[in-house]
Amino acid sequence: MSTTQFENDLSDVVASDKAHVWHHLMQHKMFETVDPKIIVEGKGMRVWDITGKEHLDAVSGGVWTVNVGYGRDTIADAVRDQLVKMNYFAGALGSVPGARFSERLISKMPGMTRVYYSNSGSEANEKAFKMVRQISAQHHGGKKSKILYRERDYHGTTITALSAAGQPQRQAHYGPFTPGFVDVPHCLEYRNQYGVVENYGERAADAIEEVILREGPDTIGGLCLETITAGGGVITPPKGYWERVQEICTKYGILLILDEVVCGVGRTGEWFGYQHYGIKPDIVTMAKGVASGYAAISCTVTTEAVFDLFKADASDPMSYFRDISTFGGCTSGPAAALENMRIIEDEDLLANTTAMGARLEQNLLALKDKHPVIGDVRGKGLFWGAELVADRETKEPVDEIKGQAVVGHCNAEGVLIGVTNRSIPGYNNTLCLSPALIATKSDIDQITGAIDNALTAVFGSGK
C-alpha cells in the first residue's frame, strides 16, 4: 500500500469526526472516551485505519458491498472519464453508460428487460412498491394494492421500506408505518415453526398462501422477498420453497419482487441469487454490489410485461410511471457498474466465489465440529452466516453481547467480521461473513482462523 496517507498528521480528522459526524447505527456516548475508527485506505481485501492498522475485510465494507475489492484503478478511471465528459442529466433523458449498462445487465437476466435507475437499495424497493400500487390503481380498480413481506427480511431504511421490514428492532420507534403491508412467516428451517413436517420448504411456502387466503387474493398485488435473507440471519431458502412460492404467485396473480440488494451481482456465485433456484421474478431490485461501492447506484429491473402496464394507454396523461430519482441520473453509477461487471467477468470471479465459498463452508463446518456454540451454518457463494447458540439441544441463542465479543476479538486480530444486530429481538446471534469475490484460500483461512480464536476466547476451548 502507499504510505502517503500516513505521512500527514490526521489527528484533526479524528477531532472533526468526533465533533460533527453522526455515524450510522452507532450509540455515540462511547466516543466521549474512545476515538471512532476511521478507515483511510483500501487495497484488494484489506483496509487500513487511521492508526495504520491493517484489517482483512470479511464483510466487503461492512455491509456486503465491495464485491470486487478496494483500490480498483480501472473503475476510478472509468468514473473519472465519464464525469468530465457528462456527469449528470435527469433520467427522463438517456445517457451513454446508462444505456450500455442496462444492456449488459439484462444480458445476465434472461426474462427481464427494463432497468430503472436510482441510488440505494431502499429506493430500488420503494420503486417496486410504487409500481405495485400504480398497477393496482390503474389496472385493478384499486384492488391488489397490498404487498406481502416476510418475517426476518429487510428492504431498506425509509418509512415505507421499513413498513415491509420483518425485523421488529429496525422498525421500533419509527411508526406509524405505511398501510397495506402484511407479513408472512419466515422460512428458517433451523427454527422450524411447524413441528414435524414432510417438507419444511413447501410448508413454509404454504404459510404464504394461508396469509393470501386470509387477506383475500384480490387484495394482494406483490410479494417481496429477499432471495437469501441477509441481516435477518443469513437464511438460505429450504428445499422446495421457491418452487412453491412461484406456483402461489402465479395462481393468485401476485407480482414476485425479489430483493437482490445483497445477493445481486455475483455474491452467491451466480450473477443473481435467484438463478440458483430457477425462479422467474417479475421485479428484481439490486444495489450494493452493482458498482461495489465505487458509486451510488441501484436498479429496479422488471419484465416487459410489467413495463407494458405503464405505457398501455398513451392518451392518459397519468398512465406512465410518474417517479423520479434526481441522482438516478448520475452517470457515475452505470459507468462504475459497467467496469465492475467487466472485472467480474474477466477475472472469473463467479467461479472464484463458488470455489472460495465451498472452502468457507468447509472451514465453518469444521469450526462447528469444534465449537458447540455454533448451532447452524448457512450460506451460498461468499455469503455465510454461523448462528451461535448457548445450547445445541434447546437452540437457545447466545447473549448478543457474546456475539459482539466474537466480532471484537476478530477485529483485534485484524479481521473484520459482522454479527446480526438490532434486528430480531433475542435473535441477533448470527455471525456474518461476506468477503469480496476476489478472496483467496489464505484469506478464507485467515478469516476462519480468527473466528476459531475468537470463539475459544469468548466461549472456551470447544470440545
**Binding positions for ligand PLP, rule: CB under 6 A:** 63, 120-122, 125, 154-157, 226, 230-231, 259, 261-262, 287
Residue closer to ligand PLP, measured from CB, 55 or 170: 170
Residue closer to ligand PLP, measured from CB, 153 or 339: 153
Work out how close the CB of 64 gets to ligand PLP at its nearest, in angstroms, rounded to a whole number: 7
Work out how close the CB of 293 gets to ligand PLP at its nearest, in angstroms, rounded to a whole number: 10
Work out how close the CB of 313 gets to ligand PLP at its nearest, in angstroms, rounded to a whole number: 32
Work out how close the CB of 238 gets to ligand PLP at its nearest, in angstroms, rounded to a whole number: 19
Work out how close the CB of 226 gets to ligand PLP at its nearest, in angstroms, rounded to a whole number: 5
Residue closer to ligand PLP, measured from CB, 95 or 125: 125
Residue closer to ligand PLP, measured from CB, 62 or 449: 62
Q: What is the 3-state secondary structure (H, E, C) of the chain?
A: CCCHHHHCCCHHHHHHHHHHCCCCCCCCHHHHCCCCCCEEEEEECEEEECCCCEEEECCHHHHHCCCCCECCHHHHHHHHHHHHHCCECCCCCCCHHHHHHHHHHHHCCCCCCEEEEECCHHHHHHHHHHHHHHHHHHHCCCCCCEEEEECCCCCCCCHHHHHCCCCHHHHCCCCCCCCCEEEECCCCHHHCCCCCCCCHHHHHHHHHHHHHHHHCHHHEEEEEEECCECCCCCECCCCCHHHHHHHHHHHHCCEEEEECCCCCCCCCCCCCHHHHCCCCCCEEEECHHHCCCCCCCEEEEECHHHHHCCCCCCCCCCCCCCCCCHHHHECHHHHHHHHHHHHHHHCCHHHHHHHHHHHHHHHHHHHHHHCCCEEEEEEECCEEEEEEEEECCCCEECCHHHHHHHHHHHHHCCEECEECCCCCCCCCCEEEECCCCCCCHHHHHHHHHHHHHHHHHHHCCCC
Work out how close the CB of 234 gets to ligand PLP at its nearest, in angstroms, rounded to a whole number: 11
Residue closer to ligand PLP, measured from CB, 65 or 331: 65
Instruction: Using CB positions, name the residue nearest to ligand PLP.
Output: 121
Work out how close the CB of 440 gets to ligand PLP at its nearest, in angstroms, rounded to a whole number: 26
Residue closer to ligand PLP, measured from CB, 121 or 237: 121
Residue closer to ligand PLP, measured from CB, 165 or 447: 165
